[in-house]
Structure 1
Amino acid sequence: MANSKSAVKRIRINKRNRLQNRFYKSSVKTLSKMFLKRLDEYKISQNPNDKFKAQILLSTLYSLIDKACKKNVFPKNQAARKKSQLALKLKNT
């Protein structure tokens, strides 16, 4: 158990940051899976509406990745790499 006020505060801050990091990482994973599912639907149906939905998901995903990068959940290069890979998948469909 923590012996000082500063140690107790650090425990609270670490818990808060861990939950925030987990939220961003899991949200990025979930949205990425949804985006890839939309791309697969578009490959099968060739319906422009599916591609439009994928583009909307991609912009939402970009926003979430940027926010996570701003809060130091992802390093700058890792965030750029994630966004680049997702854009490339959209471009190649």
Structure 2
Amino acid sequence: MPNTRSARKRVRQAERNRLRNKMYKTRIKTAIRRLEEALTGGDPTAIQEALRRAVSAIDRAAVRGAIHRNTAARKKSRLMQRLKKLGVVA
């Protein structure tokens, strides 16, 4: 248990930040899952829209500090590699 006022405040801040970071990470996972669902559907416009949303969610999380910028770059790179392999993205 925290003993000082500042330590108690840090506990509150850490919990608030943990929940915020969790929200951003969940948004990334959902966006990637929807992109994968669009890929199984095969509609090119739906795939492009899902890709745009996934990249946006990843970038937003990186800017907010929920994930490291290198992690964001790696996730985007792997998505692009998969799409390129399937011939969806040039």
Q: Give the CA deviation at 1:76.
A: 1.5
Please report how far the alpha carbon of residue 51 of structure 1 lies from its aligned counterpart in structure 2 after TM superposition.
1.5
- TM-score, scaled relative to structure 1: 0.82
Partner Cα distance (2:56, 2:5) in 1: 37
For normalisation by structure 2, the TM-score amounts to 0.85
Is contact 2:31-2:57 (8 Å) kept? Answer: no
- Coordinate RMSD, CA, aligned: 1.3
| Runs of 4+ deviating beyond 6 Å | none
Q: Which residue of 2 aligns with 1:86?
A: 79
Q: Distance in 1 between matches of 2:12 and 2:51?
A: 34
What stretches of structure 2 of length at least 5 have no aligned partner?
none
* 2:52 alignment partner in structure 1: 59
Gaps of 5+ in 1: 43-49
Q: Which whole-Å deviations, capped at 9, do the CAs of 1:24-58 have from their partners, x for residues lacking one?
A: 1111111111101111121xxxxxxx121111111
In structure 2, how many angstroms separate the alpha carbons of the residues matched to 1:64 and 1:29?
9
Matches within 5 A, 1:1-93: 1-42=1-42, 50-93=43-86
Count of aligned pairs between the two proteins = 86
Report SS of the residue matched to 1:3.
coil
1:46 maps to none
| Distance of 1:36 and 1:12 partners within structure 2 | 37
- SS of match in other structure, 1:92: helix
